[in-house]
Structure 1
């Protein structure tokens, strides 16, 4: 369940309110899947550590949520909170996800379009085109490394901080889905005519970048940076972060199965 909220001066979150400069989305524990708040928080922190732009995020004790509806929640202690990047001084900043941009219905969010088309749109229309496609490349690689099979059209957005032209929004909804989907092996969308994490390599990204019309070296340097930082930082960070131990074990095994280019 997702709820709009604001953070009050005392640090508590008021569910259902969305009227001040400190607006957040609260995601409560799932009644279907275990420890989703810890999973998402960990995945987002790992992404941040390798250069993915993310909003402010927190794990919030359920006892710190005011006006939480009387819903049946599992016996878990924390919700996941992410600060709204589409709010400033209590005002909305216009954003669009790529299902809206491509005029795709929700039930078609995994179909019709691919990661090349998202990048082409950013390269054509963003006011910081090269920077945005480089950031997208980082996120694509991070989704492979984190076994996130849910980066579909609605989980990629642009934001109009410039009134005339958009830029890629901060990342959101990065989750390691493999612990919840046994045997999962695929991206949400095609990239270089491939959807399999374990077949993806540097050549896949080279094909992707050339189809987008991007100089490969301008992309490659960012992928190398992600891998250097992931190999250096992630093993230690994963030990420290709150992800469930079983999920950590699944993620480590996933790392060991990736192509040599991306193996940790």
Structure 2
């Protein structure tokens, strides 16, 4: 016997949530099966505002200005949450997360990456192209006394800093890629600050097969899921989650 596992979309759970009007909702939706069902059901599309985040899929989906979301919450808590979502504890050191939090704090506080074509993608591009040491030196010329930059420079003297620099540069490479960057464009798209006024909003995360087979893109979707929950909590939002069930099938050899 040969055993194989596949994801089965939970259409019944989606129907229950949407008919009850309870939101907001995050839907883990491989290949967009439930996204298509949502748009084929007129009563839902009239009542709910739907967003589709699909990094790695060319010119598909909406955008989420992650850095913009930090301007509406505690910067200290928000940057720590984003750094942890981007560099989770099971795979990265605390120093890496502290360095990334400093960089995010600078980006939000200075407004250096504000703008429609900027945001997280532009920040990632600089950290990938220049490495953190070079980026800090460039930013410090314009902001010589910024506390977040001073903290980052101090952290770079700690043991393990070179490994953290390598991890950050590698991580930024995928967010800088054009097919991913367009999902994190600045000043447009999904805005968590509107969800309390209109909770009837639903976010679909719809990786295709190619995305699910790519470890780097899988990490981007993991970041989205974790970051939406973490920043949602800071916006006093409690997302319901619909996720596919893993089914096991046995086939004769």
Point out which structure has higher relative CO (alpha carbons under 8 A, 6+ apart): 2
Structure with the larger helix share: 2
**Would the TM-score normalized by the shorter structure come out above 0.5?**
no
Pick the structure with more strand per residue.
1
TM normalised by structure 1 equals 0.27
